[in-house]
Structure 1
Amino acid sequence: MAGVEDQKSMQSGAAEIYLNGRFLPLEEATIPVMDRGFLFGDGVYEVIPCYGGRLFRLEHHLQRLDNSLHAIRMQNPLTRPEWQALLDRLTAQLPGSDQSIYLQITRGSSGKRDHAIPPQISPTVFVMTQPAIYPDATTLATGIKAVTHQDNRWLRCDIKAITLLANVLLRSEAMDRGASEAILIRDGQATEGATSNLFIVQAGELITPPKSDHLLPGITRDLVLELAQQHGLPYREQAISEAMLHSADEIWVTSSTKEVMAVVMLDHQPVGNGKPGPIYARMAGFYGEYKALLQAGQPLS
């Protein structure tokens, strides 16, 4: 996959990204201004955590990538072994460390601006890794504030598309209102956060909205459900009404970067007693154990 020039760059210790078959320094990476990702947001992306140099649920992320590509009428430009080799090479630049891998695939450039999908076009593939920035211990211990907002995004939120302007504005409005996250309401039901999946706890039972076109099928979300099943924690996938959300004993949000985070204030009102709840504490422990096993290279159940 790599040429002589790429090998020399890697040996020199320069940080590299991957772009369209080449490994090169980030400052040397360029794309055409007619790229459809730049013009239309015509593309998809993934964010893959890497703990202790070990990729987090890579197969799950690549399957979601395939699903997103299929939904926008594209095929994956790389095979599973090619993805593995590419990601292994990039993560080797920060050996043994926690990292965050960002990959983006756009439809590419046809040389003109036209809404119609060109019949023959080569995709643009961009991948980079950087040191991970995960929630600090204080935030995990105290939780975050969230506000509700009408879900004004499009109807295919299950596609991990690069067209994130609505999410950017929703998150910015939440921050303007003194919160870290916006929990979105569509037709009277809570769907997910602007940048996360949603869980509530009601009478000791964990509840999360079922997968649909209105929310992203989160990798961390699925792991939380697996951990709940493994440890005998009652859970179900069910629509969460706005009333259920506001009366919940606990509220959590999950994502690759947030991991599992307790919401302790919603719309300026305390959730439960205003502190991370006991079910959250159990799940945070289960998640921490899973993460530690991955970092140590131990078998995962």
Structure 2
Amino acid sequence: MQQKEHVFINGEFVPLEEAQISVTDRGLLYGDGFFTTMRAEKGDVFFLREHLDRLKSSCNAFKISFPEQLHDPLLFKRLLKINGLLDKIAAVKILITRGDKQGLGLPYGENPTYIVFAKQYHPPLDAYKNGWKLVSFCFPRSSPISCHKSLNYLYNMWAREYAVQRGADEAILIGADGYVKETSVGTILFQKEGKWFTPEGDDLLPSITLKMLSKILEKKGIAIERKKTKLEDLVSSDQVLVLNSLIGAVPVREIDNHILPTFDHEFATQCRTWLWSTTSVW
């Protein structure tokens, strides 16, 4: 008999088809909440502490009580076990909303809705080998909440669809100030004249993958510098990577129909190996 998928919702492990939230939950009505997505292997979630800290910081900034129960790593291991994922690569997602709270503005969410999902994840092996084609998204981003992983994610999904409709894999997001921010699903890392850079800005999501990879590379004598980045900086780069918590690092082969001079999937592979080492879990 096929194993039933479970979620952890508001303190309970529940079969997915039985999980319920209120139709007046503010996450549903307004996208009033936050989420984070993590990678798990062999029952361990990578960089769990860092993801929880970022998620809690967003909740604090917008007056949503953070469920302390989420600090227990055994909760995640149990959900992975229930879903038969202890021997598989999994995507673990935490979602928190303000809950069923009436009123406009941002009333304090003392009883948030919180859900943890765990599903099998299939890494994009073709992308690792052949790289991604990127296109620049022509509609500028200018939201002060871009540095939070908000449930208001429609802009990012719109950008991704824009890329797909043009035969590309991913979209580059550019701000109203004309500077490159990130992609619809990840952080940009690029190399130019032997140095590594990442876009700088106050409206960027604090990337957990970039943070951890920077620490690893620093120990190996490779520094990553933050700089305000124009699209032409990427196009004229020697090589470009896209980072996020599930894919790790994917090499880029093309930007706006411009073939990059260096396509080094071996460096991206090495970055993933470093990231997914057993010493990198909490």
* 1:257 matches 2:246: yes
Letter paired with 1:238: K
2:87 to 82, 87, 96: 96
Letter paired with 1:287: R
Indicate if the aligned counterparts of 1:153 and 1:166 stay in contact, CA closer than 8 A: no
Secondary structure class of the residue paired with 1:226: helix
- Kindly state the Cα deviation for residue 127 of structure 1 after the two structures are TM-superposed: 0.8
Structure 1 residue runs of 4+, over 6 Å off?
Answer: none
Indicate if the aligned counterparts of 1:48 and 1:102 stay in contact, CA closer than 8 A: yes
- 1:3 is matched with which residue? none
Distance 1:80 1:266 in 2: 39
- 2:100 is matched with which residue? 109
Task: List gaps (5 residues or longer) in structure 2.
Answer: none
- 1:206 is matched with which residue? 196
* 1:145 matches 2:133: yes
Root mean square deviation of aligned Cα: 2.2
* 1:60 matches 2:50: yes
1:184 to 173, 197, 203: 173
Q: How does 1:1-301 map to 2 (within 5 A)?
A: 14-79=4-69, 81=71, 83-93=72-82, 94-110=85-101, 112=102, 114-119=103-108, 121-136=110-125, 138-149=126-137, 150-186=139-175, 187-210=177-200, 212-273=201-262, 276-277=263-264, 281-291=266-276, 293-294=277-278
Larger radius of gyration: 1
- Kindly state the Cα deviation for residue 287 of structure 1 after the two structures are TM-superposed: 2.5
Query: CA-to-partner distance for each residue in 1:19-74, whole Å, 9 max, x for gaps?
Result: 11211100001111100000000000111110222110111111111111112122
Secondary structure class of the residue paired with 2:22: coil
Task: List gaps (5 residues or longer) in structure 1.
Answer: 1-11
Indicate if the aligned counterparts of 1:109 and 1:121 stay in contact, CA closer than 8 A: no
Indicate if the aligned counterparts of 2:34 and 2:150 stay in contact, CA closer than 8 A: yes
Query: CA-to-partner distance for each residue in 1:223-245, whole Å, 9 max, x for gaps?
Result: 22122212222431222122212
TM value normalised by structure 2: 0.91
Letter paired with 1:258: I
Indicate if the aligned counterparts of 1:228 and 1:283 stay in contact, CA closer than 8 A: no
Alpha-carbon spacing, 1:30–1:233, altered in 2? closer, same or farther (3 Å) = same
